[in-house]
């Protein structure tokens, strides 16, 4: 599997952090540079129908090698080009901890950055495996360059083994997933797959076809500022009113108190002065009815504030994405195929809900059913990110097995 690891090491050298403030697609130039590099690699492999549009969406086809007249569904595989804005992805310098013996891994001695099973107990699940880690100064980029490396390596393997029969396979790499825009300009019709899988999950075995329903809410409060020495019955402090709003929400329905299918309200930012304060919340719930009730609860609390402080509070709520389960359930065979492929690859499927969202959620609502499969990495978006080589190898095998199973249909 040397090519797989070599590809991954090559890919993480590209600085592809996305940026939600640029209002461009792709949001950063490094993503297009990386896409052009991948386009050249796909051309060298001999893929067909390769296209890279001005927005950084790269697509290609591994043509069917089935006998003329034999038709099977076209399956797709998708991964994203960008890395998280949460931490620098520039000058990534990965290394391999061969046959991890357990215990602490010193990532950066100078800055005392240590990857420890005391803080990350999942490390104990990978004793004896080869772990790709950071140098402690950047994220790694396994989210989602591991997925890209796995997809291309799987396609390369099939090209090298023409005795494995398969139908048309479409692959795509898109920008700006980390800022929620990866699927916005994805041309589903041009992609032309019957269904697809995003290779964007975490640990081995993850298979996800449920995700949060998601919305963002901006709650604004208007106050009145006067000299504090003469403020009685005159001053209206918007920050204090905003604080009153915050404590009116259920204390236990927050990210730090929820798991599995439990939804939450998450206060992500608070900016304020006496005269104006803005709270930004994200709202999450797997159940659509509870999701709608959560939005109504915020509106209800805004009305209560306005009853006490007339015309003080305004609220704007915008839906972001929905639970793809409602689009996957009518075509559950695509989940069954992924489960069977995992078992054939020696992986026990772990079907679980995503406590977040993927490009696949939005693509499913655009007409491309798209469950999510593990890419193998852990501790995404920070300096403690790592990916076991063996997990990447298994993800590549799962892709190959899916393609083989669809080819037999």
Q: What is the pTM of this model?
A: 0.89
Domain encompassing residue 76: 2-210+324-407
DSSP 378: B
We report the CATH number of the domain holding residue 55 as 3.40.630.10
DSSP 278: E
Residue where the block lists tokens 């386009």: 39
Q: 268 and 334 in one domain?
A: no
Q: 226 and 171 in one domain?
A: no
Which of 321, 355, 383 is a domain's end point?
A: 321
We report the CATH number of the domain holding residue 236 as 3.30.70.360
Which of 287, 321, 355 is a domain's end point?
A: 321
Q: 188 and 230 in one domain?
A: no
79: tokens are 């991964």
Q: 92 and 33 in one domain?
A: yes
User: What's residue 409's pLDDT?
Assistant: 73
- The residues that are catalytic are 82, 177
User: What's residue 253's pLDDT?
Assistant: 97
The b-or-e profile of 374-409 (16+ CB within 10 A means b, else e) is bbbbbbbbebbbbbbbbbbbbbbbbbbbbbebbbee
**CA distance linking residue 258 with residue 255, whole number of Å:** 5
10-residue stretch averages of pLDDT, the chain, 409 residues long: 90 96 96 98 98 98 95 97 94 97 96 96 97 97 97 98 97 95 95 97 94 96 97 96 97 95 96 98 97 98 97 96 95 98 97 88 95 96 96 98 94
pLDDT digits 0-9 by tens, 1-13: 579 999 999 999 9
User: What's residue 99's pLDDT?
Assistant: 98
SS3 52: strand
Q: 17 and 162 in one domain?
A: yes
Q: Where are the alpha helices (DSSP H) in 319-388?
A: 325-328, 333-344, 359-365
**CA distance linking residue 354 with residue 125, whole number of Å:** 21
Which of 273, 305, 321 is a domain's end point?
A: 321
């Amino acid at each position: 599997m040397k090519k797989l690891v070599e590809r991954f090491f090559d890919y993480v050298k590209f600085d592809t952090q996305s940026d939600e403030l640029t209002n461009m697609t792709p949001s950063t130039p490094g993503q297009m540079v990386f896409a052009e590099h991948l386009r050249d690699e796909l051309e060298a492999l001999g893929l067909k129908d390769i296209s890279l549009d001005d927005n950084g969406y790269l697509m290609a086809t591994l043509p069917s090698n089935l006998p003329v007249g034999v038709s099977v569904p076209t399956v797709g595989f998708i991964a994203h080009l960008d890395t998280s804005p949460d931490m620098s992805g520039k000058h990534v310098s990965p290394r391999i901890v061969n046959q991890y013996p357990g215990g602490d891994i010193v990532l950066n001695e100078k800055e005392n950055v240590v990857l420890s099973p005391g803080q990350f107990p999942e490390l104990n699940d990978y004793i004896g495996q080869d772990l790709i880690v950071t140098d402690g100064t950047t994220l790694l980029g396994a989210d989602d360059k591991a997925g890209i490396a796995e997809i291309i390596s799987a396609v390369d393997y099939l090209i090298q083994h023409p005795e494995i029969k398969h139908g048309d396979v479409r692959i795509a790499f898109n920008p700006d997933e980390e800022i929620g825009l990866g699927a916005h300009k994805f041309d589903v019709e041009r992609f032309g797959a019957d269904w697809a899988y995003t290779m964007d999950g975490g640990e081995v075995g993850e298979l996800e076809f449920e995700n949060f329903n998601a919305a963002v809410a901006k709650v604004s409060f208007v106050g009145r500022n006067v000299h504090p020495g003469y403020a009685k019955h005159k001053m209206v402090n918007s920050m204090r009113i905003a604080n009153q709003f915050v404590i009116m929400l259920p204390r236990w329905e927050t990210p730090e108190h929820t798991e599995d299918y439990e939804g939450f309200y998450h206060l992500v930012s608070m900016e304020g002065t006496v005269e104006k304060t803005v709270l930004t919340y994200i709202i999450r719930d797997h159940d659509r009815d509870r999701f709608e009730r959560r939005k109504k609860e915020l509106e209800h609390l805004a009305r209560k504030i306005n009853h006490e402080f007339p015309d003080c509070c305004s609220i704007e709520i915008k839906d972001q994405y929905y639970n793809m389960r409602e689009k996957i359930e009518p075509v559950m065979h695509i989940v069954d195929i992924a489960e069977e492929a995992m078992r054939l690859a020696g992986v026990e499927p772990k079907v679980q809900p995503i406590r977040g969202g993927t490009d696949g959620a939005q693509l499913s609502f655009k007409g491309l059913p798209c469950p999510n499969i593990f890419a193998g990495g852990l501790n995404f978006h920070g300096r403690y990110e790592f990916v076991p080589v063996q997990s990447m190898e298994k993800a590549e095998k799962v892709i190959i097995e899916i393609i083989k199973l669809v080819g037999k249909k």
